[in-house]
Structure 1
Amino acid sequence: MTQMSWLGVRLISQVFGNACLPGYIGGRLSILIYHRVLKEQDSLQPDIPDEKIFRWQMQLLKRYFNVLSLRDALCRLRDNTLPERSVCVTFDDGYSDNVTVALPILKELDVPATFFIASGFLNGGSMWNDVVFELMRNIECGVHEFSEVPDFTSPVNVEDNYSSRRKIANTIIQTIKYLDYSRRQFVIDKLNEKIKNTNTGLMMTSCQVRELFAAGMEIGAHTLSHPILAKLPAEAARREIDAGRAKLEELINAPVRILAYPNGKPGEDYLPEHAAMAKEMGFEAAVSTSWGVSDALTDRYQLARFTPWDTTPMRFAARLLMNGRSLHRPMAVAG
């Protein structure tokens, strides 16, 4: 990171004052969400940080914040001993680059992290949204039919540029995201048939899960197949959570104590009954994707998290400051 970049971060701290930093007032906890860290930037998915960006982000956290493991932070939150400017780092889904690219940086900088892994995709599986992106990466230019996708009633012109392909991919993803699970999988299977050069190896192997755990990282549950829990019957949701956790516990021979809801928007992706379910199933906590910070009064089964997508240190720091001022109060859970 350049000297000018660090000066910008210091300026933010001086302008806003320490009282605005996450964790300063009343023990507030910021939890960051990552999914992938690439070796080099991907023009089709430019929002994914590459190795250089991730490194300076972790350096910034180490310099200006107290980076804790999620489990340690939750204990301190409960005991009202959370340090000022407390931050946790988490990863969702279980991509192999978490191990090959992110892990060496985390180890080098001594940054703990929690990895929420959808265990049904280990050893060669693909997340449904990645199928869409790989289709757009490999499909030939020209006019194509996507009649299996709802609302795609007319042919689509796929151009020879990343911007066009990214727009089509994002439109397909938003169109099928909340379909019934079986219907969405039918669409994905049909789209998968169009891919000529499938990008295998996106998700972790069982050995990589063990490698993370052996490196001192925490393994968290993220269901088996990453469904929208709010779209499932209660027993199906329970089976997804339980099976996903059981597979991970078998791999690492240790308990999995924290759950991340797939997609994670309260009232849309998961419901109050799923928070109650997580507690009943013996999890110590669960995390959402609601922006803001959590304190001792926040429901431990609906903790706030946010994604820091900024690509400059000053903006990254500014977003941490702004997020730290938003205290999360989740949905009420009966009982």
Structure 2
Amino acid sequence: MPLRSIAGQLSPAGPRARLSILIYHRVLARADALLPAEPDAETFRWQLRVLASVFNVLPLNDAVERLDQGTLPTRAACITFDDGYADNATVALPILREVGLPATFFVATGYLDGGMMFNDQVLETLRRIPEGRVDWPEVGLEDRRIQDDQDRKHLAAELIQRLKHLDPVERAERAQAIAERAPEPLPTDLMMNSAQVRELSAAGMTIGGHTQTHPILARTADEQARAEIAGGRETLEHLLGEQVRLFAYPNGKPGQDYDARHVAMVRECGFDAAVSTAWGVSTGKSDRYQLARFTPWDQTPGRFALRLVRNLMTRPGRQEV
């Protein structure tokens, strides 16, 4: 039986619909050995074509409304991007327009116009470190050796994991200490500028909130967490001149990266819905402030399509808090 037919049986139209939401972060102009999980332009193009051949792709705001009403079409799906990388506008947007699909972009506003997220400070520093011995005891690397990009990738992953769940202030300080090791200036154009956010919106894409500086909310004081959630929304609304209705939790694992306090904050700040990174699908019974998402990482069209369909069999709402 063709995958499209199987998907239709698993995700019928109407009240029994199952909504699939895909997560992307970046679409690279060309493949990058230090970012093997991020699709390049050609990969993204065939992924979108496969998605469109099996699913009916909707804007996320429309999908949430129709999920509430019980009027979703069969095989409903949405595309989302997290963080606000510049290649969302320069690489992903032209391909989305070419294939004719909508997407939602969740933007961490503190990095607009020249900022850099902590993980990129780590990665871009190690990209520039020459081969040889690395001895950085103040950030937890002692007597390591870099021989190739594989070593750089592994060291970056190790440092990012160590820093990810720190208090936001401490995380920023440690990331800056690493960035100061770079033998040359780090790029200032990895994240979108304000004009690119407006360009996405003008092209019919949806812009959503993603806090200001992408803290792990569960490791952040309540007052600061609320300010991050509300402040990101206010910045985007001022930039776009329109209301921002959707939110994505940074990192997004329920019960680990955010909890019920933050779900309440997002609701109280005026958002209509929010997405997590709990895998699976959402149904009419799902919490609108904890919609499931997933990342299909497969490298061939057949396996990519199969994973899209298999995700429909994941029990919805299993990781809500």
**Number of residue pairs aligned between Structure 1 and Structure 2:** 320
Please name the residue that 2:89 is paired with.
99
**Candidates 140, 146, 154, aligned match of 2:130:** 140
Indicate the SS of the match to 2:22. Answer: strand
In 2 relative to 1, CA 142–183 (structure 1 residues): closer, same or farther, beyond 3 Å? Answer: same
User: Contact 2:229/2:269 (CA < 8 Å) preserved in 1?
Assistant: no
Q: Note if 1:256 corresponds to 2:267.
A: no
Please name the residue that 2:57 is paired with.
67
**Candidates 253, 264, 272, aligned match of 1:276:** 264
Please name the residue that 1:215 is paired with.
203
AA at the equivalent of 1:91: F
Shift of 1:18: 3.8
Indicate the SS of the match to 2:16. Answer: coil
Q: Note if 1:205 corresponds to 2:197.
A: no
**Candidates 141, 159, 176, aligned match of 1:189:** 176
**Candidates 138, 150, 155, aligned match of 1:163:** 150
Give CA-to-partner distance per residue, 1:95-116, whole Å, 9 cap, x none: 0100010101111222111000
**Which whole-Å CA distance do the structure 2 matches of 1:182 and 1:302 have between them?**
27
User: Contact 1:30/1:292 (CA < 8 Å) preserved in 2?
Assistant: yes
Q: Note if 1:129 corresponds to 2:116.
A: no
Please name the residue that 2:232 is paired with.
244
**Which whole-Å CA distance do the structure 2 matches of 1:21 and 1:178 have between them?**
36
Indicate the SS of the match to 2:266. Answer: helix
Structure 1 unpaired stretches of 5+: 1-9
User: Which 10-residue stretch deviates more, 305-314 or 94-103?
Assistant: 305-314
Shift of 1:13: 4.6
Please give the root-mean-square deviation of Cα atoms over the aligned residues, in Å.
1.7
**Candidates 165, 187, 197, aligned match of 1:178:** 165
**Candidates 30, 37, 53, aligned match of 2:43:** 53
In 2 relative to 1, CA 24–47 (structure 1 residues): closer, same or farther, beyond 3 Å? Answer: farther
**Which whole-Å CA distance do the structure 1 matches of 2:8 and 2:17 have between them?**
13
AA at the equivalent of 1:260: A
**Which whole-Å CA distance do the structure 2 matches of 1:302 and 1:57 have between them?**
25
> Where do 4+ consecutive residues of structure 1 move more than 6 Å?
22-25
**Which whole-Å CA distance do the structure 2 matches of 1:95 and 1:24 have between them?**
35
Please name the residue that 1:89 is paired with.
79
Shift of 1:275: 0.6
Please name the residue that 2:103 is paired with.
113
Identity %: 51
User: Contact 1:22/1:293 (CA < 8 Å) preserved in 2?
Assistant: no
**Which whole-Å CA distance do the structure 2 matches of 1:69 and 1:220 have between them?**
12
Q: Give the TM-score, by structure 2 length.
A: 0.95
AA at the equivalent of 1:206: S
Give CA-to-partner distance per residue, 1:183-206, whole Å, 9 cap, x none: 211110100101124122100000
AA at the equivalent of 2:90: T
Indicate the SS of the match to 2:105. Answer: strand
In 2 relative to 1, CA 311–76 (structure 1 residues): closer, same or farther, beyond 3 Å? Answer: same
**Which whole-Å CA distance do the structure 1 matches of 2:162 and 2:221 have between them?**
22
Structure 2 unpaired stretches of 5+: none
In 2 relative to 1, CA 331–306 (structure 1 residues): closer, same or farther, beyond 3 Å? Answer: closer
User: Contact 1:149/1:175 (CA < 8 Å) preserved in 2?
Assistant: no
Q: Give the TM-score, by structure 1 length.
A: 0.91
**Which whole-Å CA distance do the structure 1 matches of 2:23 and 2:243 have between them?**
22
Shift of 1:126: 0.4
**Which whole-Å CA distance do the structure 2 matches of 1:24 and 1:176 have between them?**
44
Please name the residue that 1:3 is paired with.
none
Please name the residue that 2:294 is paired with.
306
AA at the equivalent of 2:101: V
Please name the residue that 1:27 is paired with.
17
Please name the residue that 1:6 is paired with.
none
Please name the residue that 1:292 is paired with.
280
Please name the residue that 2:317 is paired with.
329
Please name the residue that 1:78 is paired with.
68
Please name the residue that 2:303 is paired with.
315
